[in-house]
Structure 1
Amino acid sequence: MARHVCTFAVAHTDISAQPFSNAGRTVRILIPNNLYGQALYAKFSNYFSKRPVWIEHASVALADEAGNLIPESICTLTVGGDTSFAIVPERDVFSDRIPFAAAPGQTIAVSLYYPSSEKPTSGNFVGTFAVRSTRGDYTTTPEMPKAKLLSNLSKTVLTWDMTNAVTTLSAVVLEQDEQTPAPRIVATFGDSIMQQGAWVTPFTQALYEKYPGEVAVCNLGIGGNRLLHDSPSSVKGIYGIAGAERFSYDVLPLQGLTHVIFGLGTNDLGLPGKDGTPMEELLIPSEYEAAVKELGQKLRERGVKVYGALMLPRELNAVYTSMRERIRRYLNQWMEDSGVFDAILDFESAVADPSGTGMKKEFFLPDGLHPNKQGGLAIAQSIDLSLFE
């Protein structure tokens, strides 16, 4: 019997607060692939929208190192046999199955052409997967002229250009034959410290190099996400639904899921008192512990291993006070002692400044919270890859 496994997935959220539009443009999502496959499905989402989203053309292909499509590999994606299709609000839909030969070390490119003037409202600013075109349908054109509008935010709190969001696409699923050994599918479930890819990207690269054809990593981080509360209304829904709730549709349905890296809590501590977040939403340790235990139990029941990523140290300020720092340290210790996790990933020790409360200064961005590329590499190198054998 054929097996279905995720080689790529992102967690969608409401991105309507962003000013850009995909009108008359092509979005190309470039996916580093580490799995074998004989056929492919794409999962499209319009979950965070009140209006239909229209895709006039969609394609999947292999891409070269420059992100250009390899002509002989280009295939049209259809939904219900249609090359043009609408996705209704608050729904997900799978494309039709297409034969597609995939192998480790290749890049899979999904290209979507948006004809209408609607802004994308369901997607994610995860990592560096997406590229937006200048105006035109480039779904079957190997080289796509790129529009890049670097956000000022990218210079201070981000490690990538947030004007290039992954929109509509939420997963790529490969079909494998039964002779192919079952791979490990790893979900990183957290906030912007995962979403941005500072550590997830080098971790994924190292894992793929060590285990070609045997493992895939799906980055399910959402910037600003909290475990216990939804995004504050002041920033619309961009910080996502509470992790305790989105877990059931972002994580559990992943085809072939075997491992989860859990990394939520930083914003439960840091957001109350800023961005319009009420102070009464400040994390209560007992509530956090109960929610983490429930998630861990659901994964254990499914035979999925769960690893706890300790919360990173951060600089104190008017909102993030010494009291909140004490709670962070307490919860990190609780994670180690709780028995919820199959292993602990000690990100704290990888970057902590022994002489202060935050990270070593060479490891963080100007906001004092997010690791830069050097800090992300230090975190990635602290992870024992044998945990994913």
Structure 2
Amino acid sequence: MRHLRVAAALAAALALTSPGIAAAETSSAPPSVAAQQQSLTWVGSWGAPVQHATTAFVPDWSEVGFANHSVRQVVRLTEGGVAARIRLSNAYGATPLRVSGATVARTASGADIRPGTVRHLTVGHQRSFTIAPGAEVATDAVPLPVAPLESVTVTLYFAEPTGPTTYHWYANTDSYRATGDHRADPAGTAFTETTQAWYYLAGVDVIKVFPRRTGVIAFGDSITDGYGATPGANNRYPDELAERLRAEGRPRAVINQGIGGNRVTADSPIFGDKGTARFKRDVLDQPNVGTVIVLEGINDIGMSGQAFPPGTPPQPEVSVEQLIAGHRELIAQARAAGVRVIGATLLPYKGADYFTAEGEAKRDALNHWIRTSGEYDAVVDFERAVVSPTDPDLINPAYHMGDYLHPNDAGYRVMADAVDPAAFAR
């Protein structure tokens, strides 16, 4: 019986997403399929906010791009479904991006994929497709039933030079490159080069029978992005939160939209568009989002008036009033879209490279406003979850990676445990 239900849902999903089926045709579908269609929805299962190409910190392939290369990338989903689609972004491309071919498959290990699970991706039913500068495309739905917390591997083949890429610079897991077309290879033998970044991938969505607007977006900087977590282990705080919710019988998709170095108030070619500018794309435009957790501002404070990265001109001073205004703008954008918004207090950072007494006073003032203003729908107090028991300005030594700023695996787990699921949209 379960196989029949899955088959009916899959048939409905593919009918629902096929560009060749008009509304009049779908309305005449068999009753069981038509009923399934009315309750199916796309659900964001994984995502990454995209950025300009840069190699300011870690060498990668972003500025040179690809030519006759296959790029294999592994992502772990937080929600399962009967079919999937991949979203690819050329948001920062100066020229059209020609994708010569692409596949998705279940991950085996490393660059290996599970034989028999390879699905060729199409856009408009074409295996080769072009993404215009500044655009994002979603592939057609593919029949690849996936389970929650399962990893899938996306392989993109670029026959022609791409130029500088649109990408996410800190993946905290390996991506792989091979010369030539190896998009359908089960074995990863040809993929001999690695970096820890994601290229052109903006999201993976799944189709399922699901209540609308239940997804959770974790929005922020490198602490949301997971810097300091064990590479390849999926121990970032959004990962831990997704695991915790599922273990407690309250499963929800949790999408990580953190960018290392990101700020609320200032754009950067290295650290991404400012939070207030990217919030619509990275939060409100995600499918099925109902709640966002905002953890951002420590870089506005830490970089304020300082040359960061070293050797660059000093950054403008940012006041507490400017930070609060930025947070208010995020709240207003979320409310206008009907998304529940949770404010997160900034973690202690005494001992970090860009710590100052003036910055600490700003952090205290912003955290006080987040806790007491009542402007957020709810608050998660990450500061109190990770603070040292002997110094209110210091992160607990057991919870940071050694730089007094970024949590380690234990710290990210504590952060996930501090989130109250009762605050999510219902």
Structure-1-length-normalised TM-score? 0.85
Q: Secondary structure at the match of 1:288?
A: helix
1:16 aligned residue (54, 64, 82):
54
Whether the aligned pair in 2 keeps the contact of 1:185 and 1:256 (CA below 8 Å) is yes
List gaps (5 residues or longer) in structure 1. Answer: 150-162, 232-236
Which residue number in structure 2 is paired with residue 157 of structure 1? none
- 1:32-69 CA distances to partner (integer Å, 9 max, x unpaired)? 33434233222110111213333222011223466632
Task: Identify the range of structure 1 (214-223 vs 101-110) with the bigger mean alpha-carbon deviation.
Answer: 101-110
Deviation at 1:269, TM superposition (A): 0.4
Instruction: Describe the shift of the 1:201–1:86 C-alpha distance in structure 2 as closer, same or farther (beyond 3 A).
Output: same
Whether the aligned pair in 2 keeps the contact of 1:191 and 1:224 (CA below 8 Å) is yes
The Cα RMSD (Å) is 2.5
Query: How far apart, in 2, do the equivalents of 1:280 and 1:79 lie?
Result: 42
Deviation at 1:228, TM superposition (A): 0.5
Deviation at 1:83, TM superposition (A): 1.3
Which residue number in structure 2 is paired with residue 55 of structure 1? 99
Deviation at 1:7, TM superposition (A): 0.9
Which residue number in structure 2 is paired with residue 360 of structure 1? 396
Deviation at 1:27, TM superposition (A): 2.6
Q: Which amino acid aligns with 1:38?
A: V
Whether the aligned pair in 1 keeps the contact of 2:239 and 2:254 (CA below 8 Å) is no
1:336 aligned residue (371, 393, 396):
371
Q: Which amino acid aligns with 2:177?
A: S
Q: Secondary structure at the match of 1:14?
A: coil
Whether the aligned pair in 2 keeps the contact of 1:133 and 1:144 (CA below 8 Å) is no
How many residue pairs get aligned? The number is 368
Which residue number in structure 2 is paired with residue 301 of structure 1? 336
1:222 aligned residue (248, 254, 259):
259
Which residue number in structure 2 is paired with residue 153 of structure 1? none
Q: Secondary structure at the match of 2:284?
A: coil
Greater length-normalized contact order (CA 8 Å, ≥ 6 residues apart): 1
Q: Secondary structure at the match of 2:137?
A: strand
Choose between structure 1 and 2: higher strand proportion. Answer: 1
Deviation at 1:283, TM superposition (A): 1.9
Q: Which amino acid aligns with 2:345?
A: L
Q: Secondary structure at the match of 1:31?
A: strand
Which residue number in structure 2 is paired with residue 190 of structure 1? 220
Q: Secondary structure at the match of 1:204?
A: helix
After superposition, residues 27-176 of structure 1 pair within 5 angstroms as 27-64=71-108, 68-118=112-162, 120-128=164-172, 130-145=174-189, 146-147=191-192, 163-176=195-208
Query: How far apart, in 1, do the equivalents of 2:325 and 2:422 lie?
Result: 29
Query: How far apart, in 1, do the equivalents of 2:364 and 2:100 lie?
Result: 51
Q: Which amino acid aligns with 1:201?
A: D
Task: Identify the range of structure 1 (328-337 vs 81-90) with the bigger mean alpha-carbon deviation.
Answer: 81-90
Query: How far apart, in 2, do the equivalents of 1:50 and 1:299 lie?
Result: 30
Query: How far apart, in 1, do the equivalents of 2:223 and 2:135 lie?
Result: 28
Query: How far apart, in 2, do the equivalents of 1:207 and 1:137 lie?
Result: 39
Instruction: Describe the shift of the 1:270–1:52 C-alpha distance in structure 2 as closer, same or farther (beyond 3 A).
Output: same
Q: Which amino acid aligns with 1:5?
A: V
Q: Secondary structure at the match of 1:16?
A: coil
Q: Secondary structure at the match of 1:98?
A: coil
Query: How far apart, in 1, do the equivalents of 2:371 and 2:336 lie?
Result: 21
Deviation at 1:134, TM superposition (A): 3.7
Q: Secondary structure at the match of 2:148?
A: coil
Is residue 252 from structure 1 mapped to residue 290 from structure 2 by the alignment?
Answer: no
Deviation at 1:370, TM superposition (A): 1.4
Deviation at 1:331, TM superposition (A): 0.5
Q: Secondary structure at the match of 2:143?
A: strand
Instruction: Describe the shift of the 1:317–1:19 C-alpha distance in structure 2 as closer, same or farther (beyond 3 A).
Output: closer
Is residue 200 from structure 1 mapped to residue 238 from structure 2 by the alignment?
Answer: yes
Query: How far apart, in 2, do the equivalents of 1:74 and 1:148 lie?
Result: 22
Q: Which amino acid aligns with 2:256?
A: N
Is residue 347 from structure 1 mapped to residue 391 from structure 2 by the alignment?
Answer: no
Instruction: Describe the shift of the 1:319–1:387 C-alpha distance in structure 2 as closer, same or farther (beyond 3 A).
Output: closer
Task: Identify the range of structure 1 (99-108 vs 282-291) with the bigger mean alpha-carbon deviation.
Answer: 99-108
List gaps (5 residues or longer) in structure 2. Answer: 1-37, 227-234
Quick one: percent identity of the two aligned structures? 30
Answer with 1 or 2: which has the greater Rg: 2
Which residue number in structure 1 is paired with residue 31 of structure 2? none
Is residue 382 from structure 1 mapped to residue 422 from structure 2 by the alignment?
Answer: no
Q: Secondary structure at the match of 2:335?
A: helix
